[in-house]
Amino acid sequence: MKSFNHTIKDQLGIHARPAGLLVKEANKFASGITITKGEKKVDAKKIFAVMSLAAKHGDIVTLCAEGDDEDDAIAALQMFMDGNL
């Protein structure tokens, strides 16, 4: 299992558009991918789950990938988060 923490830099947080892009990126990989904020952990491949986190500017989220392509998934998701959120 691989993971990383990310502080949300987007002033609007994870709203519909970036949540959709995040889900699209996560679905490129076979690994199970989760995103956690505080005590809530959700499937990063489901848009309503990601939006239910209500992650706002300054919140810290943790993305985890577990599976055969976890290294590639984490690298791609980290680049995505840095560039979009």
Which amino acids are annotated catalytic? 15
Q: Which residues contact 5 (CB under 8 A, 6 or more apart)?
A: 60, 61, 62
The label of the residue with tokens 């996560």 reads 26
SS (H, E, C) 25-40: HHCCCCCEEEEEECCE
Asked whether the beta carbons of 77 and 23 are under 8 A apart, the reply is: no
